[in-house]
Amino acid sequence: MSKFLPLWPDQASTMSGQVDALYIYLLLVAGVMTALIFVAVTVLAIKYRRVRGREAQQIEGSTILEITWSVIPFFVMLTFFIWGAVLYFKERTPPADSTEIYVVAKQWMWKFEHMEGQREINELHVPTGQNIKLIMTSQDVIHSFFVPAFRLKQDVLPGRYTTLWFKATVPGRYHLFCAEYCGTNHSGMGGEIVVMEPRDYAQWMAGGPAVPLQETGKQLFATLGCATCHRSDVQGRGPNLVGIYNKPVLLEDGRTVTADENYVRESILNPTAKIVNGFKPVMPTFQGIVSEEQLNALVAYVKSLAQPTPGSAGLQNEPAASPAQTQKTQVQ
């Protein structure tokens, strides 16, 4: 990207090329249409300019023409829609083998926490060639996570998780912007995505000691007393949480919901909202007791319980191995 007059953004994710391809198609169609209208207006305006002795010819209109220029644009637009929708579906569907990174936005900074426990502020290191899924929430107002080089953007909302996934392709440093107006320092709420070769990334990852996220979650699970009811050996007063992640849960009122991140989050903050069939609504709320970061750790822990060997310490030290295992359990 030219530093003087950038006319096209860097391409740094698998999505960039796909978005650009569609954009170029749209530009071509729009260019042809604009040229058509401009030329038609200019030619007609000159050819039929007022001349002495020539009167305008009154033409009522033509239903055939009207139908033609309604139907043809409609089908052209249909191609826009289908291509765009397919692309959007890809943009919005994280592959099952994604490495997860938790993101907390606040006025006016981005906080990241890797599964391995590394924390970063306004800078996110990711490896190339790895699917990364961001699980994002906001501590205050609405923000938006925007990386132009990846062609991706997702609003980050308070009170729930939204997700975004990407697979970086080219090492380098790329702009991260907040794209949803969030107050005084909105334009300063940016940072950089540092894309690294997997080898460099592993080196960076090994840089400092850190407690893996689900380990932090496990400790919290114990200190907050969750484990007294949510037992992993027998059914306690609360449901056994082993293996529930991403599984359907039958609720008291007969509905079935999928136990995704937002479900786990809601169940911690607002336990009476969805009561699991066969259990009593006895759990107190943890709203205001746990911070967003602690909540992320708890969610990460509950998700780790979906592993075949819950709480296994071995997988946290090998970042490359954990997503693969996650994938196995999720596709079951």
Partner 1 sequence: MPDSPATTQVATPVTAMEHEAHNPALLHHFVDAQQQKNAASLGMWLFLVTEIMFFGGMFCAYLVYRLKYFNAFAAGSQQLSIALGATNTAVLIISSVTVVLAVKAAEAGKRKVLVGYLAVTVLLGLTFLGIKGFEYREKFERHHVPGPTFQFTDTFDDNGRQIPVDSNEAQLFFSLYFAMTGMHALHMIIGCGLFSVLAVLAWRGHYSPGYFTPVENAGLYWHLVDIIWIYLFPLLYLISRHS
Partner 2 sequence: MASAVIPANQAPKLNYLNNGHSLRSWLLTTDHKRIAVLYLISVTTFFFLGGFFAMLIRLELLTPQGDLMQADTYNKVFTMHGMIMVFFFLIPVVPAVLGNFLIPIMIGAKDLAFPRINLLSWYLYIIGGILITHVMLTGGVDTGWTFYAPFSTEYTNTKIVEAGLAVFIAGFSSIFTGLNFIVTIHRMRAPGLTWDRLPLFIWSNYATSLVMVLGTPVVAITIVLVAVERLFHLGIFDPRLGGDPVLFQHLFWFYSHPAVYIMILPSMGVVSELIACFARKRIFGYKFVALSSVAIAVFGFLVWAHHMFVAGISLYAAMIFSFLSFSVGVPSAVKVFNWTATLYKGSITYATPMLYAFGFIGLFTMGGLTGLMLATIGIDVHVTDTYFVVAHFHYVMVGGVLMGYLGGMHFWWPKISGRMYPEGWAKLSALFVFVGFNLTFFPQFILGYVGMPRRYWQYPPEFQVLNVLSTAGASILAVGYLLPMIYFLWSLRYGPIASDNPWHAAGLEWKTTSPPPTFNFEETPVVTWEAYNYDEIPDKELEAPVAR
**Which residues of the shown chain bind partner 1 in the complex (CB under 8 A)?**
253, 270, 272-273, 275, 281, 285, 287
The beta strand positions in 148-236, using DSSP E, are: 152-156, 162-167, 172-178, 191-196
272 binds, among partner 1, partner 2, none (CB under 5 to 8 A by kind): partner 1
Question: What binding mask, one character per residue, do residues 23-52 give for partner 2 by CB under 8 A, x or -?
Answer: x--x--xx--xx--xx-xx--xx--xxxxx
Which of 17, 28, 86, 324 touches partner 2 (CB under 8 A)? 86
* Lookup: tokens for 32: 């042809």
Least distance CB 205 / partner 2 (angstroms): 28
Name residues whose C-beta falls within 8 Å of residue 303's C-beta, 6 or more positions apart in sequence: 214, 245, 261, 264
Distance from C-alpha of 116 to C-alpha of 323, rounded to nearest angstrom: 12
Closer to partner 1 by CB, 270 or 329: give it.
270
Closer to partner 1 by CB, 87 or 157: give it.
157
Which of 12, 178, 196, 213 touches partner 2 (CB under 8 A)? 178
Least distance CB 221 / partner 1 (angstroms): 22
Which of 17, 73, 248, 314 touches partner 2 (CB under 8 A)? 73
Which of 11, 118, 131, 144 touches partner 2 (CB under 8 A)? 144
Closer to partner 1 by CB, 31 or 159: give it.
159
Up-side HSE of residue 319: CA atoms within 13 Å toward CB?
A: 26
Closer to partner 2 by CB, 29 or 211: give it.
29
Name residues whose C-beta falls within 8 Å of residue 283's C-beta, 6 or more positions apart in sequence: 229, 238, 267, 271, 272
CA distances from 311 to 213, 221, 236, 294, 315 (A): 12, 12, 19, 17, 9
Question: What binding mask, one character per residue, do residues 257-296 give for partner 2 by CB under 8 A, x or -?
Answer: -------------x----------------x---------
Least distance CB 62 / partner 2 (angstroms): 7
Closer to partner 2 by CB, 70 or 223: give it.
70
40 binds, among partner 1, partner 2, none (CB under 5 to 8 A by kind): partner 2
Residue 75 makes contact with partner 2 by CB under 8 A: no
Closer to partner 2 by CB, 110 or 146: give it.
146
For Cα atoms 244, 248, 251, give the angle at the middle one, nearest 5 degrees.
100
Burial class (CB in 10 A: 0-12, 13-18, 19+), 198: middle
Backbone angles phi, psi at 178, to 5 degrees: -90, 125
- Cβ contact 176:149 at 8 Å: no
Rg (CA), the chain: 26
* Lookup: tokens for 120: 């970063």
Which of 96, 120, 130, 141 touches partner 2 (CB under 8 A)? 141
